[in-house]
Amino acid sequence: MKRFFLIAVALIASASLFAKVPVIGVSGYVDGSKNMVNLTYTNAVRNAGGAPVVIPVTSDETVIETIVASLDGLVMTGGADFDPLRFYGEEPLRELGDVEPARDDFDVKLVRAAVKRGIPVLGICRGEQLMAVAFGGSLWQDIPSQIPESYVKHRQGGTTGSYGTHSITIEKGSFLEKALGTRSTEVNSFHHQAIKDVPQGFKVIARSADGIIEGVERVEPLKNYPDGGGMIIATQFHPEALVTGQNKIFKGIFEMLVKEAAKAK
C-alpha cells in the first residue's frame, strides 16, 4: 500500500509539473513522405521553458482546431514562397521560387485558428510573411528584382545561421526591444521575399538598413478576422538559429512567447 501511495504521489507531482509547462505547437512541413521540422525550432522552445509539439501538415480544419485547442502557444516556421495569385492577386514573377499549395493552405488555416483562440503566436521568416498572407496584406515576391534600390544581401548563402550578416533597427517599446534589450542588432537572413503591404492591425517594429521589414507585431484587434486577443509577433530573420550561437539575446523572443503562453494556459 505504501508503495502504491508513493507511486500515486509521484504521478500527481509529474502531472502538476507538466501542467505548468506551456505546450507550444511548431508548424511542420512535408518532405517526401515525412512531416518534419528543424530541431533549431523545438530546441529554442524547450530551452525557453516550453514543451514543443510538432504539428503535421493537414487541410482538415476540424483536426487543426482540435490541435490548436490543446496548445498554449504557436510557432509558425520558415519555408517556401507563398502563391501570390491565390493570396494577394498578383501574377507570379519569373523570380518566384517554388510554392507548396498544401502547406500554404495548412499554414493559413493554422494561424487563423490560433489567433481566433487567442493563444500567442510567433512567426519566423515565412511565418512573418504568413501574417500578411493570412490577414489581408501582400508580399514582395522577389526583393532583388522588385526593389532595385535594395542594397542589403538578404540571402545569406552558406554562412551559418548562428551568425548575423546584416543589421536591423528596432522600434522603441516594441516586443523586440523588450525581448532583446536593444534598439539595434545583427541578424541572419535567408529570404528573397518580405512583407510589402502590412495588414490592418499590425505595426512594423524592425527594418533592415535598406528599409525591408524585419519585424511586425499586432497592435490592435483584427477587424476582418476572428481575433481572441493573444499576442501576435513575427520576425523575418531566424532567432531560433541565432540563439544557437554566442549571441544569446535572441532567447528572449522565445522566453516572451513561453511567458505569454503560460498566461494563456
Q: Which of 154, 166, 192, 238 is catalytic?
A: 238
Q: What contacts 173, CB < 8 A, 6 or more positions away?
A: none
177 assigned to active site: no
DSSP 3-state assignment of 24? strand
125 assigned to active site: yes
The beta strand positions in the chain, using DSSP E, are 23-27, 29-31, 34-36, 51-55, 73-76, 121-124, 138-140, 166-170, 184-187, 194-197, 202-208, 213-218, 232-235
Q: Which of 125, 128, 191, 214 is catalytic?
A: 125
Q: Which of 128, 217, 240, 260 is catalytic?
A: 240
**What is the DSSP code string of 203-256?**
EEEEEETT--EEEEEE-S--SSS------EEEESS-HHHHTTSS-GGGHHHHHH
191 assigned to active site: no
What residue type is assigned to position 229 of the chain? G
192 C-beta neighbours (distance < 10 Å), count: 18
Q: Is the Cβ–Cβ distance between 210 and 236 less than 8 Å? A: no
Q: Give buried/exposed letters for 141-163 (b at 16+ CB in 10 A, else e).
A: bbbeebbeebeeebebeeeebbe
| Residues taking part in catalysis | 125, 238, 240
